[in-house]
Amino acid sequence: MIGEIRKKRLIDAMQEAGLDGLVLYGNAWQNDYLRYAADFGILEGEGLAVVTRDGEVTLYLDDELEGERAAVECPEVKTVVVGDLIGTVSGVIARLGNSRIAAGPKRHLPYGLAAQRGDLRFEDATALVDRLLMVKSADELNAVRSAARLADEGYAVFRNAAAVGKKDYELIAEIESFFRNEGVDDNFMIIGVGGPEVRGMAPPLGKILKPGDLVTTELTPCVNGYYVQICRTLVIGEPNEAQRKVFGIYNDALEAGLAVVKPGVTAADIARAENDIFRAHGLGEYVTSEYTRVRGHGLGLFPDTKPHILEDVNTVIEEGMSLIVHPNTYNPEIGYFVHGDSLIVRADGPEILTTTPRELFSVGARRAAA
């Protein structure tokens, strides 16, 4: 079981760091730390996992319905549902005495937990857990590969659903229904519809697809906790010359970024390779934070994990990481454009996971919504 493999890695890391206990917080947004230890995909409320160096993991949840689900979905983990999550876990930690306890993620750890720990203080578990999250075991990488198949299939559903007259949220409905049938736990997905006026992606706004529109999306299905992402752009109708030209630039940037990926380079090296293509076309302004967030990022138990692919991030890329490289940004001629593929870093370079062709897809302008 993958949960057992993760638990062993966690205990090994704790022992190596000389820790007696670990407290990991999670909710449906930031669930990677909690899931690493307790293998539960929390949806409502909040949870804390307490891990002791002898390998005992207890999952504390504040929602009865989620506790019920955890008992069925991950019976190997001891689950406790409590009304006073902070008070209960603080009491558990207090009973561990004056031992070395680390907690994370630091920014999200509930204030009350730290306040009740008082002068004893928690050590920061963020770096320890982040490293485990970034550099994955062989079994975790296999789980990532499984999710990639569904990212490709999901994009095919998306493409097939796109039609003149269809509303953006109707595309999402098709995708989510498909994913639920396939056992996909979650999906991070944003969308953009239109032309040069579109500066980014967001949840659907009720826009109706019309000829000439670019339809951008990031699809990020989660299978057994692991996320894989695909970014593609399609045109309603035949792409015009500007759209074809811009696609060529983004495709070159994606390929340039992928070509750099190997153990030992930095996140900055990948970002620079992507951005140099834009700069060569006089589009350097559009790779700044005013127009784009990141040029890719890590993937795993969180859809947007470290390392962020940016020119000022010097994290060293290692074998066993899973990433997406995506030179997504605004283009002044045609609007926001996305294009990206997920990969696993292997000793000899990237293993590209998503197999959807790298092309500017076109949906017949005559294809109308049913």
Using CB under 8 A, pick the residue from 2, 13, 17, 190 that binds other proteins: 190
What Rg do the C-alpha atoms of the chain give, in angstroms?
22
Residue 287, phi then psi, degrees to nearest 5: -105, 15
Distance between first and last Cα of the chain: 44
Alpha helix segments (H runs only) across 118-219: 126-134, 138-161, 168-181
Angle between helices 267-280 and 241-260 (to 10 degrees): 150
Of the ranges 3-11, 188-196, 252-260, 347-355, which one interacts with other proteins (CB under 8 A)? 188-196
Half-sphere exposure of 294 (CA within 13 A, CB side): 17
Alpha-carbon gap, residue 54 to 201, rounded angstroms: 46
Of the ranges 134-142, 244-252, 269-277, 288-296, which one interacts with other proteins (CB under 8 A)? 288-296
Report 46-65 residues binding other proteins (CB under 8 A). 46, 63-65
Of the ranges 12-20, 249-257, 285-293, 347-355, which one interacts with other proteins (CB under 8 A)? 285-293
Judged by beta carbon, residue 222 or residue 317, the one nearer other proteins is: 222
Judged by beta carbon, residue 110 or residue 320, the one nearer other proteins is: 110
Q: Whole-number minimum distance, CB 183 to other proteins, in Å?
A: 5
How many residues would you count in the chain? Answer: 370
Judged by beta carbon, residue 27 or residue 137, the one nearer other proteins is: 27
Structure tokens at 338: 């996305």
Alpha-carbon gap, residue 349 to 346, rounded angstroms: 5
Alpha-carbon gap, residue 321 to 306, rounded angstroms: 10
Using CB under 8 A, pick the residue from 57, 102, 133, 172 that binds other proteins: 172
Report 197-216 residues binding other proteins (CB under 8 A). 199-200, 202-206
Report 62-81 residues binding other proteins (CB under 8 A). 63-65, 68-69, 71-73
Q: Determine, following the binding rule CB under 8 A, whether residue 182 of this chain makes contact with other proteins.
A: yes
The residues facing 24 across adjacent strands are: 49, 104
Binding site for other proteins (CB under 8 A): 27-29, 41, 43-46, 63-65, 68-69, 71-73, 85-86, 106-115, 169-170, 172-174, 176-178, 180-183, 185-190, 199-200, 202-206, 289, 291, 293
